[in-house]
């Protein structure tokens, strides 16, 4: 089974997990990026994006250079933004049909994943997911992460 890790990361926490999985499992990896970069000012991003979350805005993405047809399994990584997936991940799911893929999700957050799982399920079936709370830039349960990666 050929596996691709697809993720978005603003603060680099989700990226750390994606890169760790890729290194340990030798999976291909794809970083999703908005066409227009978010501000580097975290508080500005919070203020601007919080107002848009209820609209489920679809943001334009930079083109991806991966043929998704080559992959049987997708490991999808998203941070939680206002109790749901990041807009970049929602935009990807809105524009790419993953219904013929086995989808496994990892969700990084500051303590609560909200309705992220149910929101992702609006776009594709999820085989399983793991909730990965962080305290700042440190994962709270490194052993759970290690066990999960080993189970893939």
Q: Fill in the DSSP letter of residue 54.
A: G
- What is the tens place of the pLDDT at every residue in 69-115? 999 999 999 999 989 999 999 999 999 999 999 999 999 999 889 99
pLDDT in tens, 20-62: 999 999 999 999 999 999 889 988 887 777 777 767 778 999 9
Measure the N-to-C terminal CA separation of the chain; round to a whole number of Å: 11
User: Full-prediction pTM beyond 0.75?
Assistant: yes
Domain range list for the chain: 3-138
Asked whether 5 and 22 are in contact (CB, 8 A), the reply is yes
CA distances from residue 87 to 2, 48, 130, 136 in whole angstroms, order as listed: 26, 12, 19, 21
Question: Quick one: fold of 3-138?
Answer: Rossmann fold (3.40.50)
CA 32 – CA 125 distance, rounded (Å): 20
Residue 47's CB is within 10 A of a number of other CB atoms, namely 11
Beta-carbon neighbour count of residue 85 at 10 Å? Answer: 29
């Amino acid at each position: 089974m050929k596996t691709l890790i697809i993720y978005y990361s603003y603060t680099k926490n989700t990226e750390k997990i994606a890169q760790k999985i890729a290194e340990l499992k030798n999976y291909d990896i794809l970083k999703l990026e908005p066409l227009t970069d978010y501000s580097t000012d975290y508080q500005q991003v919070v203020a601007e994006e919080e107002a848009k979350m209820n609209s489920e805005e679809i943001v334009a993405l930079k083109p991806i250079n991966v043929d998704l047809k080559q992959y049987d399994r997708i490991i999808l990584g998203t941070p939680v933004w206002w109790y749901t997936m990041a807009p970049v991940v929602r935009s990807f799911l809105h524009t790419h049909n993953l219904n013929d893929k086995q989808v496994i999700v990892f969700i990084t957050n500051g303590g609560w994943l909200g309705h992220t799982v149910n929101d992702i399920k609006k776009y594709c079936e999820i085989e399983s997911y793991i909730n990965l709370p962080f305290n700042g830039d440190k994962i709270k349960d490194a052993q759970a992460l290690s066990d999960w990666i080993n189970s893939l």
